[in-house]
Structure 1
Amino acid sequence: MTAAPKQADKPDFPWWLLAACAIALFLAVQIVLNDLYSQIFSIVAKGVWITIFVTLVGFALATAIGLLLAVMGLSKSLALRQIARFYVEIVRGIPILVLLFYIAFVGAPGFVIAWNALTAPLAEAGLIGEMKVRDVSLLWRAIIALTIGYSAFISEVFRAGILAVDGGQVEAAKALGLSPVQRFRFIVLPQAIRTILPPLGNDFIAMIKDSSLVSVLGVADLTQMGKVYASGSFRFFETYSIVAYVYLLLTVGLSLGLRALEKRLRRADEARMGGSG
């Protein structure tokens, strides 16, 4: 006797999202009707653009470097593979906060010293001025630190996605006479994106949260604006409730958008496979 086919489980109703929307609506009403919450929100919101800027620029740079590291790690050159592995293993072992301090207070002064040494003849000729450490903004020190830290994790995401591509298709591309660059651009990367997208989206969401670490350098981001207001008004509950609320709007909204994109890509794949069948 054959067993009846098991029906596919239906996705659970997103009660968590309903509860989150209720909390978000409650806080939104408080911000509109309560003068204290309205004042806090107007001050804290000034740092939102810095948070978004740090996240977008840092993640874009980290993605570019991560892709380069992944390609180096999969190359035929032993030297390139070892350089990529050294970078990834060392950087992944350093906490982001420690890396932030190191880049800000060790890396930036070291860069200024090296720059002044290289451009000394131009400075003596009066063509350029001598660079000082304060000329390197704390904002860009923070962005560079996040870029370095996240590039190591993103490189592993790319490496796993590239390795997940069927080797037979790569061999078929070779048979068609495609160059290594063409094989990577037209065959490997488009297929790897479907595997890469979910963890890459998780890293982007994580960077939004980790961007709050730039506040330790005094960068006027969302967290720093909240910290300054709370320390002066002693309204810690109200202030950090608003800060958490804004971060949740950013992260949950992005998470839902990424899920919708994943479902759309999955349906497109299913439709293509059904059409080819």
Structure 2
Amino acid sequence: MTKMYINSTMKERKSFATISVVMDLSDKLDGQYNPQDHESRIQDRWQKANYFNPDTQAEQDLVKEAGDTFSMVLPPPNVTGTLHVGHAMGMTNKDILARYHRMCGDKTLFVPGTDHAAIATQAKVERRLTENEGKDRFDLGREDFLEKVHEFAQVSHDQITKQIRQLGVSVDWSREAFTLDSTRKQAVRTAFKRMYEAGLIYRGDRVVNWDPQGQTTVSDDEVEHEETEGTLWTFRYSEGFPIPISTTRPETKFGDTAVAVHPDDKRYQEYIGEKFEAEF
């Protein structure tokens, strides 16, 4: 037997009611709770009712007339793999916010989605291609390689969305986004066009990061810095050169044309302005 009671929520929101369900526990329960016996059924009810769609909330009078509108985007996970416990924690925090605003009678939208992850996905597909088939993207050609990338991304996407559903995150799946879908691509192009027309961005020369393996430029955010032990080399340009030079990049010294010294350093005063002929 199930009893249902209507309760008001918060002091400042007394006009909006929530439903509390009290279960009659007179029937014998299983000795151990198994979430798999219940969660899929609950998730199916959520999806069939389309409850997390803000339009459905309004149609079912679950939104206060004077309520606010609250919208939030789930930070899209990269389709380079599957979700981990950090994703679960972050999604739970955001889901609490979304559910709180629904309880307050606000028209609430929580948008799910995934991110193509650009070079990270490309690198992962290339690595798998080399390990499994002994080929690289140049062996396949552009179109066939892109097909491999899309196949990999789709498999990851399906697993990620399954995990999000299993977590019970209250997102509106009818508005699911992908950062390479037509809507998002159009939005990005429109934003760049407007920024260009406003003079906020321009094309020019700049030192960029280059990936010698991927043969492409990468953004600063995608560069991973590592501290390594190197060698400090000390040498002279030729046998008669009076100043020892120390460097970590000796291969660049063949292009040197001058040596700079501190003007007040007494050790090198007599050499300032002198010319030497170096023999490599």
Range into which the TM-score falls when normalised by the shorter chain: under 0.3
Looking at secondary structure, tell me which structure has more strand per residue. 2
Q: Going by fraction, where is helix more abundant, 1 or 2?
A: 1
Does 1 or 2 have the higher relative contact order (CA < 8 Å, sep 6+)? 1
Q: Radius of gyration: which is bigger? A: 2
